[in-house]
Structure 1
Amino acid sequence: MGLLKVNISDFIAIVTIDNAPANALASGVLKELSNLLDEFENNEAVRVIILHGEGRFFSAGADIKEFVQVPSGEEFAKLASNGQDLFERVENYSKPVIAAIHGAALGGGLELAMSCHIRLVTNDAKLGLPELQLGIIPGFGGTQRLPKYVGTGRALEMMLTSEPILGSEAVKLGLANHAHPEEKLLEETKALASKFAQKSPNSVKAVIELLNIAKTETYQNGMKKEAELFGGLFGSNDAKEGITAFIEKRKPNFTGK
């Protein structure tokens, strides 16, 4: 891996975008991310993934230099569709993916962050979709995800002005979960990830699946699926371990079985 650095410890994989100077989401970065998702899927040593950026940025967006090499509008549409598919995969991934955002998450960088299950930011991080400054629009799902987090009016304002918001405001709007000083961001993100990693992987997977169902399915279908997954998990070794640990007043040791 050349553009993504990976460190796995205590069931947490920290994936660092390392594409200086602004961690642009070049095609190589997206390909490596796709490969890592393949690798982590059945890796029992990975229960939570943290996406982070090397240097001064999370990611300042797509690699604009690559745009001039795209020969036609049809090819641009294909590029957007491929990016959407990848980010949709992140959103529906079976293990929690947390974006730890410092510096800036702009354009494709914010679109990637919005596809993650949770976002932690620094107070002064800049989050925005400035594509209209280039005469284009967000193409990796930004127009669809941003209003779900901040509302249609605020999303429209952010895109039509091309002006980013600060991390502290992102928390207030619901775009980010928590804000921390930059020197504590990764530490606090790992602390949160550790809490997730201590839960049964199968239960975590089920919750992610159900929350994604809630976005698109009817209430009745969601309830039906919840009952189905509840019943399926109840006979698992992890469920037996969790219930026994509760009765014995000890910490459970979940294995994902």
Structure 2
Amino acid sequence: MEFVKLDHPAAGVARLAIHRPEVRNALNQAVREQLAEQFSTLGKSSEVRAIILTGGDKVFAAGADLTEFAHKNAVQMQQRTVHLLWQSIAECPKPVIAAVNGYALGGGCELAMHADIIVAGRNATFGQPEIRVGVMPGAGGTQRLTRAIGKFQAMKYLLTGLPFKGEEAFAMGLASEVVDDEQVQARALELAQLIAGMPPLAATQIKEVVLAGQDIALDAALLLERKAFNLLFASQDQKEGARAFLEKRPPNYTGN
């Protein structure tokens, strides 16, 4: 059954929409597998320059599907190797924009944090409520949330399971932008089109260096940045960008 729908709303833009409305887009194994497959494929496509990840206008993803593992033991949970599916999303080289309306709780919040940009509706609801059912985040929630909003804010939400709205997510640095609920999808598409018009090699290098550099020493991260910066001067897009600037015309980036 297809739980993740793919469309291409604009040139260079792919949109993935989770579609399990009857359970508020709860993340079961099938959803994770389909997301992993789509991200792996889109990450290799020369036609795709930006990816929008959404659950639609009403809900992003209300969390993991508890019916799948409520009665499993530790060995059975380990054998699910769900982390390999999440890894396919984390390693996607293309810029990813999460368009978040409604609930983004538990695994849904963790999924949104795999994106590079989060556009949140004012009434979007984020949170990591796992502690309320006797467990803890298991797909990066303790680590990504702490890196995004800091230890003391993250501890508050991780230890209480309390939710927080789009405005709060923006104020804490989790959301890139907060807009009216009905504008979320349009704004995500606007940003995706803007990114799709940029040189894709530069976009890929920016994402790679930001993610690789955030957990290493500053000197090593700056070295990565310099190497990537210099490498881009071997691209045709760099030459096209310079020519277009000097000739005062729009550039035409080809990804070469």
TM score, norm. by length of structure 2: 0.94
Q: Say which SS state the counterpart of residue 115 (structure 1) adopts.
A: coil
Residue in structure 2 matched with residue 40 of structure 1 by the alignment:
42
Write the letter of the residue equivalent to 1:236: S
Q: Say which SS state the counterpart of residue 140 (structure 1) adopts.
A: coil
| CA contact 1:120–1:185 (8 Å) conserved in 2 | yes
After TM superposition, the structure 1 stretch with the greater mean CA deviation from structure 2, 213-222 or 28-37, is 213-222
Counterparts of 2:216 and 2:91, CA distance in 1? 14
Write the letter of the residue equivalent to 2:36: S
Gaps of 5+ in 2: none
RMSD value, Cα: 1.5
| CA contact 1:88–1:115 (8 Å) conserved in 2 | no
1:216-231 alignment to 2 at 5 Å? 216-231=215-230
Q: Say which SS state the counterpart of residue 216 (structure 1) adopts.
A: coil
Counterparts of 1:40 and 1:69, CA distance in 2? 35
Q: Percent identity over the alignment?
A: 35
Residue in structure 2 matched with residue 109 of structure 1 by the alignment:
108
Write the letter of the residue equivalent to 1:220: D
CA deviations over 1:23-46 (Å, ceiling 9, x no partner): 011100110111112211221221
User: Aligned pair in 2 of structure 1 residues 67, 214: CA closer, same or farther (>3 Å)?
Assistant: same
Counterparts of 1:165 and 1:117, CA distance in 2? 20
Counterparts of 1:153 and 1:211, CA distance in 2? 23
Residue in structure 1 matched with residue 55 of structure 2 by the alignment:
53
After TM superposition, the structure 1 stretch with the greater mean CA deviation from structure 2, 89-98 or 42-51, is 89-98
CA deviations over 1:145-187 (Å, ceiling 9, x no partner): 1111111111111122211000011000001011111111100
Counterparts of 2:167 and 2:225, CA distance in 1? 34
Counterparts of 1:234 and 1:118, CA distance in 2? 26
Structure 1 runs (4+) deviating above 6 angstroms are none
| CA contact 2:106–2:130 (8 Å) conserved in 1 | yes
TM score, norm. by length of structure 1: 0.94
1:43-82 alignment to 2 at 5 Å? 43-54=45-56, 56-68=58-70, 70=72, 72-79=73-80, 82=81
Write the letter of the residue equivalent to 1:221: A
1:163-242 alignment to 2 at 5 Å? 163-242=162-241
Q: Say which SS state the counterpart of residue 7 (structure 1) adopts.
A: strand
